[in-house]
Amino acid sequence: GENVEQHPSTLSVQEGDSAVIKCTYSDSASNYFPWYKQELGKRPQLIIDIRSNVGEKKDQRIAVTLNKTAKHFSLHITETQPEDSAVYFCAAKRESGNEKLTFGTGTRLTIIP
Amino acid sequence: GAVVSQHPSWVICKSGTSVKIECRSLDFQATTMFWYRQFPKQSLMLMATSNEGSKATYEQGVEKDKFLINHASLTLSTLTVTSAHPEDSSFYICSATKDSTQYFGPGTRLLVL
- Check: CB of residue A22 under 8 Å from CB of residue A7: yes
Would the pLDDT of B31 be above 70?
A: yes
Percent of chain B whose pLDDT exceeds 70: 99
Phi, psi of B87 (to 5 degrees): -70, -10
pLDDT tens-digit series, residues B56-91? 999 999 999 999 999 989 999 999 999 999 999 999
Would the pLDDT of A96 be above 80?
A: no
pLDDT at A42: 93
B68 vs B88: CA distance, rounded Å: 14
Q: B30: distance to nearest CA of chain A, Å?
A: 10
Whole-number average pLDDT of chain A:
94
Q: How far is CA B88 from CA A41, A42, B37, B38, in A?
A: 17, 19, 9, 11
pLDDT tens-digit series, residues A2-46? 899 999 999 999 999 999 999 999 999 999 999 999 999 899 999
- CA triple B17-B25-B95, angle to 5 deg: 65
Band of the pLDDT at A112, cuts 50, 70, 90?
very high
Whole-number average pLDDT of chain B:
94
Q: Is B102 on the interface with A (CB under 8 A)?
A: yes
CB atoms within 10 A of CB A82: 10
Lowest mean pLDDT among A96-100, A109-113, B26-30, B90-94: A96-100
Asked if the Cβ–Cβ distance from A44 to B44 is below 8 Å, we say yes
pLDDT at A97: 66
- Check: CB of residue B78 under 8 Å from CB of residue B21: yes
Contacts of B56 in chain A (CB under 8 A): none
Asked if the Cβ–Cβ distance from B34 to A101 is below 8 Å, we say yes
Would the pLDDT of B39 be above 80?
A: yes
Residue with the larger pLDDT of the pair A78 and B102: A78
Span A96-105, mean pLDDT?
85
- CA triple A85-A44-A82, angle to 5 deg: 15
Band of the pLDDT at B25, cuts 50, 70, 90?
very high
A110 vs A113: CA distance, rounded Å: 9
Band of the pLDDT at B100, cuts 50, 70, 90?
confident
- Residue B8's contacts (CB-CB under 8 Å, 6 or more residues apart) are B21, B108
Q: Is B89 on the interface with A (CB under 8 A)?
A: no
Nearest to B107 among A43, A95, A108 (CB): A43
Q: Is A35 on the interface with B (CB under 8 A)?
A: no
